Amino acid sequence: MTSAEIQQEQDSPQQFSFTGTGSEYFGIWIVNILLSIVTLGIYSAWAKVRRNRYFYSNTHVAQGSFEYHGNAIAILKGRILAVAFFILYNMAVRSSPRYLGIMLLVMAVFMPWLVWKSIQFKLHNSSYRGVRFGFRGSAGQAYFNFLLLPIVTLFTIYLLAPFTHQRIKKFQHTESRYGASYFSFDGKVGDFYLAYLIGFGALFAGLIAIGVVLGGGFMAFIAQAKNNQPNPAAISGFFLLIFAVYIWMFAIFPLFLTLIQNLIWNHTQLGNNHFRSNLKWGKMTFIFITNIIGVICTLGLFAPFAHVRLLKYRIESMTLIPGGSVDDFVAVEEQQVTATGEGVADVFDFDLSL
């Protein structure tokens, strides 16, 4: 191929591809777990690096792939600190209501900082075609978006949730950069409200349907509990109801994920380059539910396969629509981001992809 032909090929829509497989990842996952157990958790930092390097290196678009640069020692230091805190938190919460209040307060104060650091480090440690990503957002903005807005949302009984979601995504995406170029985000608050409406609408419609069909069993269960006369039919009716509710919630979650991922990426740009996300709810739900069944039936051994399946679908539904040449991005001189903070944020491993 001539350089010109390659150039032209590079300027047409580029679908993301993921070449990782469940069986290959299973090997990595199992050895990661074994070595982590044998080293009482110390190896887990290296395990995380291996895992991320595997997923990043297998993600490709436009003749380039991604790379993860996280440092295992930094991750380890932070994990030790964070695990100590986690144990303390768990013990306090289970022992006395008094401590719960204090712990919640501490978490509230630190959480936005952790989320902020987590975003910074994830981006700083990611690169595509050798050029690193970065994050410019300030701590103040982080506290506004990750603490203030959620608290306000709480007070409006979550009616403000879609608004807050949009603000958070806008903050994240507009302050993120690839090399010297910043992303932009034009998703509207209205779009988020629509997505939430559809999601919750479907959820309630289903719950009502379940209630109508299976509600009889529930009422019979209440009656027999009151009279202290166990009625096996009523008991099984009750469990069937609970089961149906769970299944429905499991089905709605992928619907919501689909709507949100599509919404967010269809409205994200990098300079003149656009993204398209084509997730289909039906396929997402199928993958989701079969994953859960698989993991339960194999007592967890299917987990790495499940992870790869879902990730592959989510990544390969994405397309990059170049608006100029993908060759034209320039790296930026990095000031070193503090390593220990990385490790601490890493333990809480916020998945902010929603």
Partner 1 sequence: MINARYFDGKTSRLHQVQFRVDDGTAYVTGDMSRVVPLRDLQISDRMRHAPRRITFPDGAYLECSDQGELDALFSASGVTDTLVVRLQRNWRGVALAATLIVGIVVLSYLYLLPWSATMIARNLPAGVEASIGDGALEFLDKNFFSPSKLPLERQRNIQASFTELSATHNSELPIALVFRSSKIGANAFALPSRQIVLTDELVNLLNNNDELMAVLGHELGHIEEHHFTRRIIQSSAIAAGTALLFGDVSNVIAGVPTVLLDLKYSRDTESDADAFAVHLLIKNGMSPDNLAQVFEKLSRQQKGVEPVPYLSRHPLTQERLSNIRKFALAPDAH
Residues between 286 and 315 that touch partner 1 (CB under 8 A): 291-292, 295-296, 300-301, 303, 306-307
C-alpha distances in Å from residue 175, one per residue of 182, 271, 286, 297, 328: 7, 13, 35, 43, 20
Q: Strands of 318-321's sheet, edge to edge? A: 14-15, 318-321, 273-277, 268-270, 181-185, 176-178, 131-135, 126-128, 64-68, 59-61, 17-18
Closest C-alpha among 167, 203, 201 to residue 185: 167
Residues between 249 and 278 that touch partner 1 (CB under 8 A): 250
Fill in the DSSP letter of residue 137: -
Q: How far apart are alpha carbons 13 and 17 in whole angstroms?
A: 13
If one asks whether residue 118 binds partner 1 (CB under 8 A), the answer comes out as no
If one asks whether residue 90 binds partner 1 (CB under 8 A), the answer comes out as yes
If one asks whether residue 329 binds partner 1 (CB under 8 A), the answer comes out as yes
C-alpha distances in Å from residue 207, one per residue of 99, 236, 260, 270, 334: 36, 18, 22, 41, 51
Residue 228 CB, shortest distance to partner 1, in Å, is 7
Contacting partner 1 (CB under 8 A), which of 8, 9, 31, 73?
31
Q: Which residue lies nearer to partner 1 by CB, 54 or 171?
A: 54
Q: Which residue lies nearer to partner 1 by CB, 74 or 234?
A: 234
Q: Which residue lies nearer to partner 1 by CB, 186 or 327?
A: 327
Residues between 54 and 73 that touch partner 1 (CB under 8 A): 54, 57-58, 63-65, 67
Contacting partner 1 (CB under 8 A), which of 8, 9, 27, 205?
27
User: Quick one: tokens of 157?
Assistant: 């009984």
Contacting partner 1 (CB under 8 A), which of 160, 202, 331, 337?
331
Residue 316 CB, shortest distance to partner 1, in Å, is 14
In whole angstroms, how large is the CA radius of gyration of the chain?
A: 23
Taking the chain, what is the end-to-end CA distance rounded to the nearest angstrom?
39
Residues with Cβ < 8 Å from 256, sequence gap 6 or more? 195, 199
Contact 278, 316 (CB under 8 A): no
How many residues of this chain bind partner 1 (CB under 8 A)?
Answer: 59
Residues between 172 and 211 that touch partner 1 (CB under 8 A): 179
Which residues are near partner 1 by CB under 8 A?
A: 3, 6, 10, 19-21, 24, 26-28, 30-31, 33-35, 37, 50, 53-54, 57-58, 63-65, 67, 86-87, 90-91, 94-98, 128-131, 179, 228, 230, 232, 246, 250, 291-292, 295-296, 300-301, 303, 306-307, 326-331
